[in-house]
Amino acid sequence: MERSLLRIFAEVRERFPEVKENVTLLKPCLELTVLSPGLTLKTGEFEQMLGRKPDTLYQSSDESYAISVLYKVDDDLTRGLIAHQFAEVLARERSVSDHSHIDTICVERGFGEDLLYAFMNDVFPGMIEKEFIRREDIEDRIRGLRKMLGR
């Protein structure tokens, strides 16, 4: 599982050159998967949540952000999840918090189908519990992705 995560992370990271050195991949933190299958925070925030420094699978040169991602079902779904996390970092760096902008970034970087697949397979249920996504927002995002992808 960790090798697959690292391989997909490395593949996705190359399509986000603006932030690729800012993102560290943490070993899947089981304590955090209860919250969400994918979580992006400032590096120190993970320490605060866990009460310890988390283990890493890949340490970036500038550890501004860290992502914790659980391998889900298959590579395509996991790729959509990791691409979403990278797009979220890029959006944060641009001071944009609109989720449709994150989806647009994923489509522009070639991960629109993967993200759509992830949404349609309900990979983000834990995120609904946070302020991140409300149930109706998922349907809106699915419709938006389909439109951007010409489906």
pLDDT tens digits, one per residue of 18-51: 999 999 998 887 766 666 677 788 888 888 888 8
The pLDDT value given to residue 130 = 44
Residue 132 confidence (pLDDT) above 50: no
Cα–Cα distance, 8 to 5 (Å, whole number): 5
Residue 133 confidence (pLDDT) above 70: no
Contacts of 91 (CB under 8 A, 6+ apart): 97, 98, 101, 102, 105
Q: How many distinct structural domains can be found in the chain?
A: 1
pLDDT bracket for residue 54 (50, 70, 90): confident
pLDDT per residue as tens digits for the range 60-108: 998 899 998 877 778 998 999 999 999 999 999 999 888 889 999 999 9
Residue 2 confidence (pLDDT) above 90: no
The pLDDT value given to residue 137 = 77
Q: What average pLDDT does range 2-13 have in this prediction?
A: 93
Q: What average pLDDT does range 110-136 have in this prediction?
A: 69
The answer to which of 15-19, 36-40, 126-130 has the lowest mean pLDDT is: 126-130
C-alpha triplet 118, 124, 129: angle, nearest 5°:
165
Cα–Cα distance, 24 to 62 (Å, whole number): 8
pLDDT bracket for residue 136 (50, 70, 90): low
Which among 69-78, 123-132, 139-148 has the top mean pLDDT? 139-148
Cα–Cα distance, 16 to 111 (Å, whole number): 11
CB neighbours (10 Å) of residue 26? Answer: 23
Contacts of 19 (CB under 8 A, 6+ apart): 65, 86, 89, 90, 93
- Domain membership of residue 22 as a residue range: 2-148
C-alpha triplet 125, 8, 77: angle, nearest 5°:
30
